[in-house]
A and B are shown apart, each in its own frame.
Chain A
Amino acid sequence: MSKAVKFLAIVVLSVAVMSITAVPGIAADLALNGAGASFPYPLYMKWFSEYSNSNVGVKFNYQSIGSGGGIKQITAGTVDFGASDAPMTEEEMSKLPGPILHIPTAIGAVAIIYNLEGVPSGLRLTQDLLAEIFIGKITRWNDPKIFEINKELKLPNTDIVIAQRSDGSGTTDIFTNYLSTVSAEWRTKVGRGKSVKWPVGIGGKGNEGVAGLVKQTPGAVGYVELAYAKQNKMTVASLRNREGQFVAPTIEATSAAAAGITMPADFRASIVDSPGKESYPIAGLTWLLVYKEQTDAAKGKALVQFLKWAITDGQSMGAALDYAPLPKPVTDMVDKTLRQITSQGKALY
């Protein structure tokens, strides 16, 4: 009996403590709810905590349920902002209750990783080579076509093993978007999507799955997010860009890809195979999805303030987490766009 009494006392006490600490928070906080892409999740978490520290009273809940989920949630209006690695399609946008803005927040890139005995670094690939390898036409590493642009390397006489993402992913979308852009054969045979019917290869779940396959399998080549490749110090290939330059995947080369194109007013741009000498060719924007007309003025105001902060102060935090910052001309454009967000006809900027 005394045991039960003790237990009860502990429960009552802990509930009391929790309510004391929680009450002040409930009174003041404005909670912004978001959901969507998992690729920018680490960056957004950093942003949310930094921003909440300097702006007491604004809290964020973000669920990284995937880009598709983010679009679904913002369409249903269950969240205040969505997040996606792929721009919404016309069909998806037609289902929205009101006009939406794509606010670019950061740039991601896809790195080609490989595991080749005797080639610790320095592999170079062209658009055609990459497409032909992933379509299964070039099957051995000592193929003369690969040798032709890698004459200084000792390429082994082994099979090429392709590793790809088995789960639906924005990374796959960017990568297949690139292959569809540079190869007509890829475009007609496979196409672009978050998951596709791969002509050849083995599937791994997540960046870590693909990286694991490549590390474990001699002769393997695969693709992962640049941030993942950098943090795990993986061997990456340099790719030939549109201007004929071989570019290694770096933060700078990724930002250059976004600077290389003419940004459309709605920011729904593809930046693969981007012009510019420094541009890394497999890159993509990631967006926050925000309604142009906000129903809740207080929330809308807080959201706009946060977005303003994200494209200015927030940009410098990205590099430490291996996200490429948006080029200045783009953030200037975003700033203008943020001024269009209204609540009952009143601008919230």
Chain B
Amino acid sequence: MPKKVSKNPKDRAFEALSAFFAAMVLTLGLLLLLVLLYESLPALRKFGAGFIVSQAWNPVEKEFGALSFIYGTVITSFLAILLAVPLSVGAAIFINDFAPQWLKKPVSLLAELLAAIPSVIYGLWGIFVLVPMLRSAFMKPMAKYFGWWIPLFKGPVYGPSVLAASVLLSIMIVPFILSVSREVLATVPVRQKEAVLAIGGTRWEMIRIVVGQHCIPGIFGATVLGLGRALGETMAVTMVIGNRPDIFYSLFHQGYSMAAVIANEFAEAADLQLSSLILIGLLLFILTFLVNLAAKWILSNLVKNTSLRN
């Protein structure tokens, strides 16, 4: 785009104003980082880099470490993505290419409405419906038949668990991934699809080629959007994860997440505990930042290799 310096004073004023707003956004982010850094200094000084690899969390002895919370956040978010992506992309393809016209609107509208439900409602639903259901229909039998030889399904089964949190999170992020994926699929030129069908391709081949050629970067972007939400989700997770700072192998074990421990302990924390909680906040900030950065990088590579080549 050619840059043009306008002579019109009104244009200049508007340009300055919008530049000011852009600067505000940057400043806000920077200030946020600075405040987090400043408030977490006592914990940083006391524990140093060891904070990230320490599994300790003992408010009585004033020993704090973030590892079990980082672990819980990463595992639940990863599992949620694993469950949510096939579901949402599948649904998006159905809505876009297979659903009869009268069904498209209601299905996509309902799916998107899921995004409007407050997370505490998801949490309550998790406690009263999802956890009892998972416990009796999935966790108990899995622990019984597979638990003794697959550590992933090892008991004891209590209900609130990493699995419950991951399933709940996956339901919460489906609408995000679904609606973006649908938009991406809708951008595929009809002619390309028709071309595949015209040379004798099946519908499956059409979707495979079209999605592979066109939509992978977009769907990846949608996934990152969902991941961002999953990493930061607080209320719903804390209500079903069991809130136990441990490193575990079993999906049925209780865990803890970074956002959840901040929400739980912030109100009554003081001194070193408060500072440690803020340090966890800072780490969460950095984690989401890194994830987004990595996503941007992967995305740009994907775009180079796929759609732009056409």
Which residues from chain A sit less than 8 Å from chain B, CB to CB? Answer: 65-69, 72, 159, 161, 166-169, 190-198, 201-205, 209, 212-213, 216-217
Contacts and interface: CB of A to CB of B under 8 A. Distances in A.
Given A197-B57, A204-B243, 18 more contacts: A65-B267, A67-B268, A161-B158, A166-B260, A167-B263, A168-B267, A169-B268, A194-B59, A194-B268, A196-B58, A202-B160, A202-B243, A203-B244, A204-B160, A205-B264, A209-B239, A212-B127, A217-B158
B265 A168 contact: yes
B254 to A, nearest CB: 5
B58 A197 contact: yes
Given A166-B243, A196-B58, A216-B128, A66 B156 contact: no
Contact of B238 (A68, A166, A191): A166
B159 A72 contact: no
A205 B243 contact: yes
A65 B269 CA distance: 11
A167 B58 contact: no
A101 B68 CA distance: 41
Nearest to A190: B60
Contact of B60 (A67, A68, A193, A203): A193
B60 A197 contact: yes
A191 B158 CA distance: 26
Contacts of B158: 161, 202, 217
29 contacts: A66-B267, A66-B268, A68-B268, A68-B270, A72-B270, A161-B158, A166-B238, A166-B243, A166-B260, A166-B265, A167-B263, A167-B264, A168-B264, A169-B268, A190-B60, A192-B60, A195-B265, A197-B60, A201-B244, A202-B158, A202-B254, A203-B244, A203-B254, A204-B239, A205-B238, A205-B263, A212-B127, A216-B132, A217-B158
Residue among A169, A192, A203 facing the most chain B CB atoms (10 A cut-off)? A203
B163 interface: no
A191 B60 contact: yes
Contacts of B268: 66-69, 167-169, 194-195
A196 B256 CA distance: 15
Given A65-B267, A69-B267, A195 B59 contact: yes
A174 to B, nearest CB: 13
Contacts of A159: 156
B242 interface: yes
Given A191-B61, A195-B59, A217-B158, A68 B128 contact: no
Contacts of A69: 267-268
Contacts of B128: 212, 216
Nearest to A85: B268
Q: Is the interface of A mostly helix, strand, loop or mixed?
A: loop
Contacts of A191: 60-61
A303 B216 CA distance: 67
A215 to B, nearest CB: 9
Interface in B58-77: 58-61
Contacts of A213: 160
Contacts of B254: 202-203
Contact of B127 (A168, A192, A198, A216): A216
Interface in B117-142: 127-128, 131-132
A194 B266 CA distance: 11
Contacts of B265: 166-168, 195
A69 B274 CA distance: 12
A167 B267 contact: yes
Nearest to B127: A212
A190 B59 CA distance: 10
A168 B269 contact: yes
A212 B125 CA distance: 12
A217 B239 CA distance: 14
Contacts of B263: 167, 205
Contact of B59 (A65, A161, A193, A205): A193
A161 B238 CA distance: 18
A67 B267 CA distance: 9
Interface in B138-164: 156, 158-160
Nearest to B260: A166
A194 B260 CA distance: 17
Contacts of B242: 202-203
Interface in B7-45: none
Contacts of A195: 59, 264-265, 268-269, 273
A117 to B, nearest CB: 14
A89 to B, nearest CB: 10
Nearest to A212: B127
A192 B61 CA distance: 10
Contacts of A190: 60
Nearest to A193: B60
Contacts of B244: 198, 201-203
For the complex of A and B, list the 5 residue pairs with the smallest distance between their C-beta atoms, beginning with the closest: A168-B268, A203-B243, A166-B243, A191-B60, A197-B58
Residue among B60, B243, B268 facing the most chain A CB atoms (10 A cut-off)? B268
Interface string B149-182: 0000000101110000000000000000000000
A343 to B, nearest CB: 30
